[in-house]
């Protein structure tokens, strides 16, 4: 009994991290369902089901990104969402109100561009870890923002309808065989489309692995090994299933063309169009699966090159282009940049393909019995923090500190102007504050409203700054400033010149000839008064 108990406890500890990483893809769905509409316009749209809207949106992105193989713009998603709300909820609002509602829903769905964070305790390492997941991601292409569903979003959508197996493609292929045997060809078409979606997700994961390799070779190498282990495990078995299902379709076509009984023949003729569509879709799937094999080989080749290049960089001296440019500007010698730029203008050498190699390609036969090297699956580091997340954390911390000082001064003095507040901030944080962009960003966000009520702020946040303040306030600060309400008055005739701080810190006006020195580091005075 003691040995069995030890095994049980050991399994609980060792499997906890893996189980939580598998659960993280469900976390955004329940976050979205919890409080999305209760805080929007005093619950006016509380009857809307964010769970249904989320699943419909994911299906829309899968259809456009994977079936139609195109990324979409926000305007395309807005048209889809307005159609859904009008059809399923009988929503009848003016166009402006509908667009605002769509923008609110989409911001929540993509979490304002940030990843959803899922915190859990890992008993193996005795520390709290953070798993991050996104359903919708974006990038800029041809001057506009394009949106696409992530691999976690596809995996979550598929998991909500079918059991998780070692290979979803294999499970769906087995299901396809059963549907063909049962003459349910329309259902078979849907299964083939889901197989295409799974293959597309694997191809997309290959791009994510390459992206990781470009900024973190070690994490990328681990992700590449895991991807190769997953893909290699599927290829042999799935190729057999493709062949089997293709034979079943051919048999169905022969039966439809044969001279069987009238009732049976009439039934097959009614489904003949579905059989042809299913055959065409399966051929596309086989081609896409072959493309996946090619993508896997290309990933292995690209990862080897990136890893070898990273090894070479470790051995050579680092050349700092920024430092070289600054030294050239300081010496006023632009000709010194010639040694850096000249290699960029070297003509490209033409490369050719040997004619004799064509015979080798045509006569090459793949060894089906060849077995590759055994790959050991390793866990991908899911705790990586992106640079934009570090920036968001720093900005939020700086905004919260400055706002806390403002509340403290208003609590003590009832009224204070920006000039006086600057003196207190300088004592508290140092003169570096006035050459930090976060200080000026804070003033811009603070100026969005003329009045702040801390009580209302804790319940509902109207601006980005209020969200940061709400998340950062401690229980002691809530108790102390909870009932405070203050106004912001602008004094445009009074200018505060902070350029002296920049000059003392070595950031003199000569670094930027486009802006006169007297206009740099100048803000308008403001008065804050307890109402």
The 3 state secondary structure assigned to 49-79 is: CHHHHHHHHHHHHHHHHHHCCCCECHHHHHH
pLDDT, tens digit (0-9, with 9 covering 90-100), for 9-22: 777 777 777 778 77
Greater confidence, 63 or 450? 450
Distance linking the first and last C-alpha atoms of the chain: 70
Residue 186's pLDDT is 62
Confidence of residue 513 (pLDDT cuts 50, 70, 90): very low
Alpha-carbon span 505 to 524, nearest angstrom: 22
CA angle 285/291/292 to nearest 5° reads 90
DSSP assignment of 464-486 equals: HHHHHHHHH--HHHHHHHTT-EE
Q: Which of 157-166, 256-265, 446-455, 469-478 has the lowest mean pLDDT?
A: 256-265
pLDDT at 417: 92
- Split at pLDDT 50, 70, 90, the class of 510 is very low
Q: What is the mean pLDDT of residues 223-240?
A: 65
Confidence of residue 505 (pLDDT cuts 50, 70, 90): low
* Residue corresponding to tokens 């561009």: 113
Query: Mean pLDDT across the chain, nearest whole number?
Result: 76
Ramachandran region, residue 120 (left: φ > 0; alpha: ψ -120 to 50; beta: rest): beta
* In the chain, domain spans: 2-159, 186-314, 387-530
Per-residue model confidence (pLDDT) at position 504: 54
Query: Which contiguous run of DSSP H or E holds residue 233?
Result: helix 217-257
Q: Which of the given ranges, 10-19, 90-99, 173-182, 205-214, has the highest pLDDT on average?
A: 90-99
Q: What is the C-alpha to C-alpha distance for residues 332 and 317, in angstroms, rounded to an integer? A: 26
pLDDT band at 164 (very low <50, low <70, confident <90, very high): very low
Number of neighbouring beta carbons within 10 Å of residue 319: 8
Measure the CA–CA gap between 57 and 15, rounded to whole angstroms: 33
pLDDT band of residue 415 (cuts 50, 70, 90) is very high
Lowest model confidence (mean pLDDT) among 12-26, 170-184, 238-252, 483-497: 170-184
Whether 368 shows a pLDDT value over 60: the answer reads no
Please name which of 124, 85, 90 lies closest in space to residue 102, comparing C-alpha atoms.
85
- Residue 390 clears pLDDT 70, i.e. is over it: yes
429, two tokens: 């944080």
Q: Which two tokens stand for residue 108?
A: 């929540």
Quick one: pLDDT at residue 129?
Answer: 84
Mean of pLDDT values over 184-211: 69
pLDDT in tens, 437-489: 888 888 888 888 899 998 888 888 888 888 888 888 888 888 888 888 999 99
What's the whole-number mean pLDDT along residues 250-277? 60
Rounded Cα distance, 500 and 517, in Å: 10
Letter string b/e over residues 268-301, b meaning 16 or more CB atoms within 10 A of that residue's CB: beebeebbeebbebbeebbebbeebeebbeebee
- The whole-number pLDDT of residue 303 equals 75
Nearest 5 degrees, angle CA 78-CA 80-CA 85?
Answer: 90
Burial of 31 (0-12, 13-18, 19+ CB in 10 A): middle
Question: What is the mean pLDDT of the segment spanning 508-521?
Answer: 51
Overall size of the chain counted in residues: 531
Q: Give the mean model confidence (pLDDT) for residues 252-279.
A: 60
pTM of the model: 0.36
Least confident of 114-118, 212-216, 252-256: 252-256
Average pLDDT of span 102-116: 86
Residue 409 pLDDT greater than 70, yes or no: yes
327 phi and psi angles, rounded to 5 deg: -70, -35
Is 261's pLDDT higher than 70? no
């Amino acid at each position: 009994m003691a040995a069995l108990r030890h095994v049980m406890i050991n399994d609980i500890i060792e499997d906890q991290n893996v189980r939580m990483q598998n659960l993280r893809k469900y976390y955004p769905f329940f976050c979205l369902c919890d409080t999305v509409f209760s805080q929007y316009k005093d619950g006016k749209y509380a009857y809307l089901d964010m769970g249904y809207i989320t699943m419909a949106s994911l299906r829309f992105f899968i259809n456009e990104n994977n079936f139609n193989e195109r990324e979409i713009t926000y305007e395309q998603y807005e048209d889809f969402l307005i159609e859904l709300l009008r059809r399923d909820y009988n929503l009848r609002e003016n166009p402006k109100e509908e667009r605002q509602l769509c923008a609110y829903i989409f911001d929540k769905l993509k979490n304002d561009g940030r990843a959803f964070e899922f915190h859990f305790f890992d008993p193996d390492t005795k520390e709290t870890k953070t798993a991050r997941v996104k359903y919708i991601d974006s990038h800029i292409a041809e001057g506009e923002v394009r949106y696409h569903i992530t691999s976690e979003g596809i995996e979550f959508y598929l998991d909500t309808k079918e059991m998780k197996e070692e290979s979803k493609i294999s499970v769906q292929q087995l299901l396809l065989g059963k549907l063909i045997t049962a003459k349910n060809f329309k259902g078979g078409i849907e299964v083939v489309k889901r197989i295409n979606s799974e293959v597309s997700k694997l191809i997309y994961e290959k791009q994510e692995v390459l992206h990781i390799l470009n900024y973190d070779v070690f994490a990328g190498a681990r992700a590449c090994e895991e991807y190769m282990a997953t893909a290699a495990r599927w290829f042999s078995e799935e190729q057999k299933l493709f062949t089997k299902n293709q034979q079943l379709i051919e048999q169905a076509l022969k039966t439809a063309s044969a001279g069987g009984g009238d009732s049976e023949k009439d039934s097959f003729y009614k489904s003949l169009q579905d059989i042809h569509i299913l055959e065409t879709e399966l051929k596309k799937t086989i081609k896409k699966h072959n493309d996946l094999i090619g993508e896997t080989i290309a990933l292995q080749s690209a990862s080897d090159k990136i890893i070898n290049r990273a090894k070479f960089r470790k051995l050579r001296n680092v050349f700092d282009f920024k430092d070289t440019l600054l030294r050239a500007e300081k010496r006023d010698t632009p000709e010194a940049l010639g040694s850096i730029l000249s290699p960029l203008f070297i003509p490209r050498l033409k490369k050719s393909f040997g004619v004799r190699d064509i015979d080798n390609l045509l006569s090459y036969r793949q060894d089906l019995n060849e077995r590759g090297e055994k790959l050991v699956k390793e866990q991908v580091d899911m705790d990586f923090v992106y640079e934009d997340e570090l920036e968001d954390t720093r900005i939020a911390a700086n905004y919260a500190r400055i706002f806390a000082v403002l509340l403290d001064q208003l609590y003590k003095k009832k009224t204070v102007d920006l000039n006086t507040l600057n003196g207190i901030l300088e004592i508290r944080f140092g003169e570096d504050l006035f050459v930090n962009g976060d200080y000026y960003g804070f003033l811009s966000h603070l100026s969005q409203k003329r009045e702040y009520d801390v009580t209302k702020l804790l319940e509902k946040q109207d601006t980005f700054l209020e969200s940061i303040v709400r998340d950062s306030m401690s229980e002691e600060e809530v108790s102390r400033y909870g009932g405070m309400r203050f106004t912001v008055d602008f004094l445009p005739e009074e200018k505060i010149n902070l350029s002296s701080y920049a000059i003392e810190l070595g950031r003199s006006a000569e670094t930027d000839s486009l802006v006169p020195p007297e206009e740099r580091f100048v803000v308008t005075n403001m008065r804050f008064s307890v109402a």
